[in-house]
Amino acid sequence: MRQLCKEASLRKDTKFLARASQKIKNLDLTTLNVLLRSFTTFFHLVNKAEQLEIVRINTEREIKAKKRSPRSESIAEAVYQLKQNGHSLQNILENLHKLDIQPTFTAHPTEARRLGLL
């Protein structure tokens, strides 16, 4: 089912979508429930793998970071680049004080997971 849906998405071909739709229509409730739980678990695992990969990449970047080549995409790199481009500490501080940073808290539905599942 996953492969069929993937093909439908990749090929933008309605015949694959129709085949997937027909297969789903023919499933009994118990099998459909198992299928939905399987997809849910699959996507939770994919999301967890992606989170772990992000941690791995950031850890690797931190290990490789040096004073003259700070971790990419970090505040340290931004400060280093500003200094390299001739901005003074005073100029940077003046601009930082002008910033109005306000955190925004959101809850994405895919992030709401039962502790038992995690």
Higher pLDDT, 107 or 5: 5
Quick one: average pLDDT of 44-69? 90
| Averaged pLDDT for residues 80-102 | 91
Residue recorded with tokens 């490789």: 64
pTM for the whole structure = 0.59
Q: Which amino acid is at 58?
A: N
Contact (Cβ atoms closer than 8 angstroms) between residue 47 and residue 110 = yes
- Output helix, strand, coil percentages for the chain, rounded to the nearest 5: 70, 0, 30
Domain ranges within the chain, ordered by starting residue: 1-64, 67-99
More confidently predicted of 118 and 68: 68
Q: Report which of residues 14 and 27 the model is more confident about.
A: 27
Which of 8, 7, 25 lies closest to 17, judged by CA?
8
Q: What is the pLDDT of residues 68-88, one digit of tens each?
A: 889 888 888 998 999 999 999
